[in-house]
Protein backbone atom coordinates (compact mmCIF):
# COMPACT_ATOMS: atom_id res chain seq x y z
CA UNK A 1 0.00 0.00 0.00
CA UNK A 2 1.33 3.42 -0.97
CA UNK A 3 2.09 5.89 1.79
CA UNK A 4 -0.18 8.90 1.89
CA UNK A 5 1.05 12.41 2.82
CA UNK A 6 -0.79 12.07 6.14
CA UNK A 7 0.92 8.75 6.88
CA UNK A 8 4.32 10.14 5.96
CA UNK A 9 3.68 13.13 8.21
CA UNK A 10 2.70 10.86 11.09
CA UNK A 11 5.84 8.76 10.64
CA UNK A 12 8.00 11.89 10.74
CA UNK A 13 6.35 13.24 13.89
CA UNK A 14 8.55 11.49 16.52
CA UNK A 15 11.73 12.87 14.95
CA UNK A 16 10.21 16.36 14.85
CA UNK A 17 9.21 16.13 18.50
CA UNK A 18 12.67 14.91 19.49
CA UNK A 19 14.31 17.79 17.61
CA UNK A 20 12.07 20.20 19.51
CA UNK A 21 12.81 18.45 22.81
CA UNK A 22 16.54 18.66 22.24
CA UNK A 23 16.27 22.43 21.70
CA UNK A 24 14.11 22.87 24.79
CA UNK A 25 16.40 20.74 26.97
CA UNK A 26 19.46 22.65 25.72
CA UNK A 27 17.84 26.00 26.48
CA UNK A 28 16.08 25.24 29.77
CA UNK A 29 17.68 22.09 31.14
CA UNK A 30 15.88 18.82 31.73
CA UNK A 31 14.33 19.65 35.10
CA UNK A 32 12.87 23.00 34.03
CA UNK A 33 11.59 21.80 30.66
CA UNK A 34 7.91 20.90 30.41
CA UNK A 35 6.07 18.74 27.92
CA UNK A 36 4.07 21.81 26.87
CA UNK A 37 7.36 23.58 26.08
CA UNK A 38 8.26 20.74 23.72
CA UNK A 39 4.80 20.92 22.16
CA UNK A 40 5.07 24.67 21.65
CA UNK A 41 8.51 24.37 20.07
CA UNK A 42 7.21 21.66 17.72
CA UNK A 43 4.03 23.59 16.93
CA UNK A 44 1.68 20.86 18.17
CA UNK A 45 -0.62 20.29 21.12
CA UNK A 46 0.65 18.82 24.38
CA UNK A 47 -1.59 15.83 23.72
CA UNK A 48 0.33 15.09 20.54
CA UNK A 49 3.57 14.85 22.50
CA UNK A 50 1.98 12.46 24.98
CA UNK A 51 0.65 10.38 22.10
CA UNK A 52 4.23 9.44 21.25
CA UNK A 53 6.03 9.84 24.58
CA UNK A 54 4.29 9.12 27.91
CA UNK A 55 6.74 11.16 29.99
CA UNK A 56 9.68 13.54 29.84
CA UNK A 57 11.93 10.62 30.82
CA UNK A 58 10.64 8.72 27.78
CA UNK A 59 11.56 11.70 25.59
CA UNK A 60 15.08 11.70 27.02
CA UNK A 61 15.46 7.95 26.47
CA UNK A 62 14.30 8.33 22.88
CA UNK A 63 16.86 11.09 22.33
CA UNK A 64 19.61 8.81 23.62
CA UNK A 65 18.46 5.99 21.34
CA UNK A 66 18.35 8.35 18.39
CA UNK A 67 21.60 10.29 18.81
CA UNK A 68 23.92 8.21 20.99
CA UNK A 69 23.22 4.49 20.75
CA UNK A 70 23.75 4.18 16.97
CA UNK A 71 27.31 5.39 17.54
CA UNK A 72 27.83 2.86 20.33
CA UNK A 73 26.52 0.11 18.06
CA UNK A 74 28.79 1.27 15.25
CA UNK A 75 31.83 0.99 17.53
CA UNK A 76 30.72 -2.43 18.77
CA UNK A 77 30.37 -3.67 15.18
CA UNK A 78 33.76 -2.24 14.25
CA UNK A 79 35.44 -4.00 17.17
CA UNK A 80 33.71 -7.31 16.48
CA UNK A 81 34.82 -7.36 12.84
CA UNK A 82 38.34 -6.02 13.29
CA UNK A 83 41.26 -8.41 12.77
CA UNK A 84 44.31 -6.13 12.73
CA UNK A 85 46.56 -4.70 15.45
CA UNK A 86 44.68 -3.64 18.55
CA UNK A 87 46.39 -0.25 18.70
CA UNK A 88 45.04 0.57 15.24
CA UNK A 89 41.55 -0.45 16.35
CA UNK A 90 41.74 2.00 19.24
CA UNK A 91 43.00 4.72 16.90
CA UNK A 92 40.13 4.11 14.49
CA UNK A 93 37.58 4.12 17.31
CA UNK A 94 38.89 7.39 18.73
CA UNK A 95 38.93 8.97 15.26
CA UNK A 96 35.12 8.93 15.30
CA UNK A 97 34.85 11.15 18.36
CA UNK A 98 35.85 14.61 17.08
CA UNK A 99 32.83 14.63 14.77
CA UNK A 100 30.56 13.48 17.58
CA UNK A 101 31.82 16.08 20.06
CA UNK A 102 31.20 18.80 17.47
CA UNK A 103 27.61 17.64 16.87
CA UNK A 104 25.07 19.55 19.03
CA UNK A 105 22.59 16.67 18.66
CA UNK A 106 25.08 14.42 20.45
CA UNK A 107 26.77 16.61 23.05
CA UNK A 108 23.54 18.11 24.39
CA UNK A 109 22.73 14.75 25.98
CA UNK A 110 25.85 14.09 28.10
CA UNK A 111 25.84 17.76 29.04
CA UNK A 112 22.33 17.31 30.48
CA UNK A 113 23.37 14.19 32.37
CA UNK A 114 26.49 15.79 33.85
CA UNK A 115 24.63 18.91 34.88
CA UNK A 116 21.48 17.34 36.32
CA UNK A 117 22.36 13.82 37.46
CA UNK A 118 22.16 14.75 41.14
CA UNK A 119 18.51 15.75 40.84
CA UNK A 120 17.51 13.38 38.03
CA UNK A 121 18.69 9.91 39.10
CA UNK A 122 16.42 8.06 36.67
CA UNK A 123 17.88 9.97 33.74
CA UNK A 124 21.44 9.41 34.94
CA UNK A 125 20.88 5.71 35.61
CA UNK A 126 19.47 5.14 32.13
CA UNK A 127 22.45 6.88 30.52
CA UNK A 128 24.89 4.94 32.69
CA UNK A 129 23.35 1.58 31.77
CA UNK A 130 22.71 2.18 28.09
CA UNK A 131 25.72 4.29 27.13
CA UNK A 132 28.47 4.49 29.74
CA UNK A 133 28.62 0.83 30.74
CA UNK A 134 28.41 -0.33 27.13
CA UNK A 135 31.20 2.03 26.13
CA UNK A 136 33.40 1.03 29.04
CA UNK A 137 32.72 -2.64 28.36
CA UNK A 138 33.67 -2.18 24.72
CA UNK A 139 37.00 -0.53 25.52
CA UNK A 140 37.72 -3.06 28.29
CA UNK A 141 37.19 -5.85 25.77
CA UNK A 142 39.54 -4.23 23.28
CA UNK A 143 42.20 -3.81 25.97
CA UNK A 144 41.85 -7.48 26.97
CA UNK A 145 42.26 -8.44 23.33
CA UNK A 146 45.49 -6.45 23.13
CA UNK A 147 46.85 -8.01 26.32
CA UNK A 148 45.96 -11.54 25.21
CA UNK A 149 47.76 -10.98 21.91
CA UNK A 150 50.85 -9.67 23.70
CA UNK A 151 50.38 -6.19 22.23
CA UNK A 152 49.58 -4.46 25.55
CA UNK A 153 50.75 -4.78 29.11
CA UNK A 154 48.26 -6.71 31.27
CA UNK A 155 46.92 -3.68 33.14
CA UNK A 156 43.48 -3.69 34.79
CA UNK A 157 41.27 -3.20 31.71
CA UNK A 158 38.26 -1.76 33.53
CA UNK A 159 40.42 0.91 35.14
CA UNK A 160 42.23 1.76 31.92
CA UNK A 161 38.89 1.98 30.07
CA UNK A 162 37.77 4.75 32.45
CA UNK A 163 41.06 6.58 31.88
CA UNK A 164 40.56 6.17 28.14
CA UNK A 165 37.18 7.91 28.24
CA UNK A 166 38.02 10.67 30.73
CA UNK A 167 39.31 13.17 28.12
CA UNK A 168 36.07 12.76 26.16
CA UNK A 169 34.12 14.05 29.16
CA UNK A 170 36.44 17.05 29.39
CA UNK A 171 35.93 17.69 25.67
CA UNK A 172 32.15 17.68 26.09
CA UNK A 173 32.27 19.99 29.11
CA UNK A 174 34.75 22.33 27.44
CA UNK A 175 32.79 22.58 24.19
CA UNK A 176 29.39 23.05 25.82
CA UNK A 177 30.27 25.04 28.94
CA UNK A 178 33.52 26.96 28.59
CA UNK A 179 33.83 27.77 24.89
CA UNK A 180 30.45 29.60 24.82
CA UNK A 181 31.69 31.99 27.54
CA UNK A 182 35.05 32.80 26.00
CA UNK A 183 37.18 29.72 26.62
CA UNK A 184 39.81 29.05 23.98
CA UNK A 185 38.48 26.61 21.36
CA UNK A 186 39.58 23.05 21.99
CA UNK A 187 41.62 21.65 19.10
CA UNK A 188 39.79 18.34 19.19
CA UNK A 189 41.73 16.38 16.59
CA UNK A 190 45.14 17.21 18.06
CA UNK A 191 43.83 16.82 21.62
CA UNK A 192 42.51 13.31 21.01
CA UNK A 193 45.50 12.21 18.92
CA UNK A 194 47.78 13.26 21.78
CA UNK A 195 45.62 11.34 24.25
CA UNK A 196 45.76 8.18 22.13
CA UNK A 197 49.54 8.48 21.74
CA UNK A 198 50.07 8.84 25.50
CA UNK A 199 47.74 5.93 26.28
CA UNK A 200 49.33 3.60 23.75
CA UNK A 201 52.80 4.37 25.06
CA UNK A 202 51.57 3.55 28.55
CA UNK A 203 50.07 0.28 27.32
CA UNK A 204 53.27 -0.83 25.58
CA UNK A 205 54.61 -4.23 26.74
CA UNK A 206 57.55 -4.27 29.11
CA UNK A 207 60.66 -3.33 27.16
CA UNK A 208 58.65 -1.66 24.41
CA UNK A 209 58.15 2.04 23.76
CA UNK A 210 54.83 1.99 21.93
CA UNK A 211 51.93 -0.46 21.86
CA UNK A 212 51.81 -0.05 18.09
- Is the pLDDT score of 5 beyond 90? no
pLDDT at residue number 206: 82
Structural domains in the chain, CATH included, are 1-54 (1.10.10.60), 63-203 (1.10.357.10)
CA distance 30 to 56: 8
Average pLDDT over residues 36-40: 97
Who wins on pLDDT, 9 or 207?
Answer: 207
Taking the model in full, what pTM does it have?
0.87
- Is the pLDDT score of 76 beyond 80? yes
pLDDT bucket at 3, cuts 50 / 70 / 90: low
Average pLDDT taken over every residue of the chain: 92
pLDDT bucket at 6, cuts 50 / 70 / 90: very low
**Contacts of residue 159, Cβ cutoff 8 Å, sequence gap at least 6:** none
pLDDT digits (tens, 9 = 90+) for 175-194: 999 999 999 999 999 999 99
pLDDT bucket at 34, cuts 50 / 70 / 90: very high
pLDDT digits (tens, 9 = 90+) for 80-131: 999 999 999 999 999 999 999 999 999 999 999 999 999 999 999 999 999 9
pLDDT digits (tens, 9 = 90+) for 120-179: 999 999 999 999 999 999 999 999 999 999 999 999 999 999 999 999 999 999 999 999
Amino acid sequence: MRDTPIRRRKDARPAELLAAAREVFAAKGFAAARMEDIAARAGVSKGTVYLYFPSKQAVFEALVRQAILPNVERLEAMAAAYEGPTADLLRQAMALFPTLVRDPKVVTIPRLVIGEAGNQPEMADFYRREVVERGLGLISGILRRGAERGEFRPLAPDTVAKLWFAPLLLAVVWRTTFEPVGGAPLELDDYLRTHVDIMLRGLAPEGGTDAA
